[in-house]
Amino acid sequence: AREFTLSPSGRPGAAGGAEAGGGPTSFTNVDGLFAREAIEAGTIIMSEEEGCGMELPTSATPNCEVVEVEDEEQGGSSLCLVACRRIRSG
């Protein structure tokens, strides 16, 4: 692990961070999936075939749900991950 601070000005080498009296700087490592663009409710995110074997994260406030979708062309159905509410990008 490496320790470093960022200056208030954002310039490399400029004084800042907790050591220089600029206050603490926090960083967070977040593992997850993030939308590149906004996704509307009801949009199919991926099908069972596309996410084969993928473990889905759980949440107390989910933005997606697994839904069985009928395939009219092939006469069957498959499981799909569908947005249950609007998802912001980022």
Q: What is the pTM of this model?
A: 0.58
Say how far apart CA 50 and CA 2 lie, in whole Å.
37
Of residues 4 and 71, more confidently modeled: 71
pLDDT in tens, 14-73: 444 444 455 555 555 556 678 889 999 999 998 888 877 778 888 889 999 999 988 888
Distance in angstroms (rounded) separating the CA atoms of residues 16 and 6: 6
What pLDDT, on the 0 to 100 scale, is given for residue 65? 92
Q: How many CB atoms lie within 10 A of CB 8?
A: 13
